[in-house]
Amino acid sequence: RIALANELPGSEVIVVSNREPYIHNRDENGEMIVQRPASGLVSALEPVTRACGGTWIAHGSGTGDREAVDGNDRVMVPPSSPAYTLRRIWLTDEEQEGYYYGFANEGLWPLCHIAFVRPVFREPDWRMYQKVNERFAEAVVAEAKRPDPIVLIQDYHLALAPRMIRDRLPDATIITFWHIPWPNSETFGICPYKEEIIDGLLGSSILGFHTQFHCNNFIETVDRVIESRIDRESDSITLKGYEAFVRPYPISIEWPPAAMEGQKPVPEARKAVRKRLGLPEDVQLAVGIERFDYTKGILDRMHGVDALLTAHPELIGHFCFMQAAAPTRSKLANYKSLQEEAEALAREISERHGGPFDVIQLVARHHDPEEVFELFRAAELCIVSSLHDGMNLVAKEFVAARDDEQGVLILSAFAGASRELGEALIVNPYDAHAMGEAFYWALTMEASEQRERMRVMREQVEARNVYRWAGQMLLDAARLRKKQRIMRLI
């Protein structure tokens, strides 16, 4: 808000992402139900867009089709206090298959996350990816009220859109944020369309990644793949007469999170959750909460639980691990098989260790942010064991949920968040034994040590919240616009 009011007077902000920030659906009585999808991108961008106003262009994938919203392409959101326009693009099944399931999620997603799932690139998917990026670019041009909007493009679904928008709106300030890791140049070199992807991204004015490490990987990839001018001092790349700045902006969450409003005190949350799960009141609870995605290390943490109970059988009957997992991209074979494998593994471990209740409880459904925060508040510990993750906002949300300064975070060294949250117990998710030990350490940690660690992490997340993330990008954009205005006068 501050950045926009002081530095960007009269500016127009357009956010562009594949995922819609709200899903509108009707229940069996025809009543409108509005949900927030499980997406780190949405958790971060939604509060920022609420503060800036403007337009958010997204694919209406969860909402389904125009009929669900009475034929309206535009709707003001959030429903309770409208702050910005959500403009939906409706993709055909064929477009969604090729662009979203195919190129984005079977190609780029495994390519950028080193989770040992082979990326698949098919030529028809690529064509659909190009076509859908065109559709998003056209929507930006159609929505823009001025020739120089600030366009915030989000993620790997839209790598070609920056160039397409730049060609049509040369004065736009295009900030592209890549929410997932950028791998090293050898890995990215696998992509048969690497030149086009890089050319597309370099239509941006500013290109953001979570960490300097990913910025370096990107610059190195550009250097190997195309002919451009790279200025190592300012980390900028000039291609086709445009200079793009490559910068790290570690993403975060809003502070205080909206989902904290109306939360029960911790002792009540503990009771309510244990009752719901059918657990005795004194059980120690660990939680894991994410989309059912193979990059999250869900099976690996179950192996960690297995290692814990093998080393400490005395915990049986006194400890439970609850994994909440929102089904996602379920049409894809890798996602379907992960869900089946996780269900089988949870059953197998629970049966093998026995005890009065299942030691691993897997709840495969969507949880609203309020419910997620209640789970965080009820738990002794939260585990984030991503095999590779750009940032991971679940880790930051857990910390934000614990205003009682208790609870332990176990965090993968391969999540960007581990670079900021050093007071978590940092683990290698490929090492089940070490994870088992981290669980034990967390479960036996003194309240005073929990407090010390949690305090430092809370200060960190509060200070480096998502408004700072967006504010920093917008300030950099403002500086750039000022410089460009002066250059035009000279």
- Is 155 near ligand G6P (CB under 6 A)? yes
Binding-site string for ligand G6P from residue 413 to residue 442, where x marks contact by CB under 6 A and - marks none: ------------------------------
In the bound state with ligand G6P, the residue whose beta carbon lies nearer, of 39 and 465, is 39
CB 30, min distance to ligand G6P, A = 26
Rounded to whole angstroms, the Cα distance separating 330 from 339 reads 9
- Is 19 near ligand G6P (CB under 6 A)? yes
- Is 40 near ligand G6P (CB under 6 A)? yes
Q: Report the 10 Å Cβ neighbour count for 487.
A: 8
Q: Is 37:23 a contact under the CB 8 Å cutoff? A: yes
- Is 329 near ligand G6P (CB under 6 A)? yes
Look up residue 432 and give its DSSP letter: H
Rounded to whole angstroms, the Cα distance separating 187 from 97 reads 24
- Among positions 41, 108, 399, 424, the unique one binding ligand G6P when judged by CB under 6 A: 41
In the bound state with ligand G6P, the residue whose beta carbon lies nearer, of 330 and 484, is 330
In the bound state with ligand G6P, the residue whose beta carbon lies nearer, of 155 and 374, is 155
- Is 180 near ligand G6P (CB under 6 A)? yes
**DSSP-assigned letters across all residues of 316-380:** TTTEEEEEEEE--STTSHHHHHHHHHHHHHHHHHHHHH--SS-SEEEE-S---HHHHHHHHHH-S
- Is 39 near ligand G6P (CB under 6 A)? yes
CB 278, min distance to ligand G6P, A = 30
Rounded to whole angstroms, the Cα distance separating 184 from 175 reads 22
In the bound state with ligand G6P, the residue whose beta carbon lies nearer, of 43 and 361, is 43
CB 180, min distance to ligand G6P, A = 5
Residue 61 CB contacts under 8 Å (≥ 6 apart), including other chains: 18, 19, 20, 91, 96, 100
HEC per residue, 163-212: HHHHHHCCCCEEEEECCCCCCCHHHHCCCCCHHHHHHHHCCCCEEEECCH
In the bound state with ligand G6P, the residue whose beta carbon lies nearer, of 50 and 179, is 179
The distance from CA 318 to its chain's CA centroid, rounded to whole angstroms, is 33
Residue 232 CB contacts under 8 Å (≥ 6 apart), including other chains: 219
- Is 412 near ligand G6P (CB under 6 A)? no
In the bound state with ligand G6P, the residue whose beta carbon lies nearer, of 180 and 285, is 180
CB 341, min distance to ligand G6P, A = 20
Beta strand 150-154 pairing with 173-177:
parallel
CB 244, min distance to ligand G6P, A = 21
Q: Which of 455, 444, 438, 443 is nearest to 399 (CA)?
A: 455
In the bound state with ligand G6P, the residue whose beta carbon lies nearer, of 109 and 373, is 109
Contact set for ligand G6P, span 270-299 (CB under 6 A): 291
- Is 191 near ligand G6P (CB under 6 A)? no
In the bound state with ligand G6P, the residue whose beta carbon lies nearer, of 214 and 291, is 291
Q: Report the 10 Å Cβ neighbour count for 314.
A: 9
Residue 224 CB contacts under 8 Å (≥ 6 apart), including other chains: 185, 189
Contact set for ligand G6P, span 378-407 (CB under 6 A): none
Rounded to whole angstroms, the Cα distance separating 161 from 70 reads 29
Pick the stretch among 33-41, 52-60, 158-166, 476-484 that binds ligand G6P (CB under 6 A): 33-41
Pick the stretch among 1-9, 36-44, 158-166, 444-452 that binds ligand G6P (CB under 6 A): 36-44
Q: Which residues bind ligand G6P (CB under 6 A)?
A: 19, 39-41, 155, 179-180, 291, 328-329
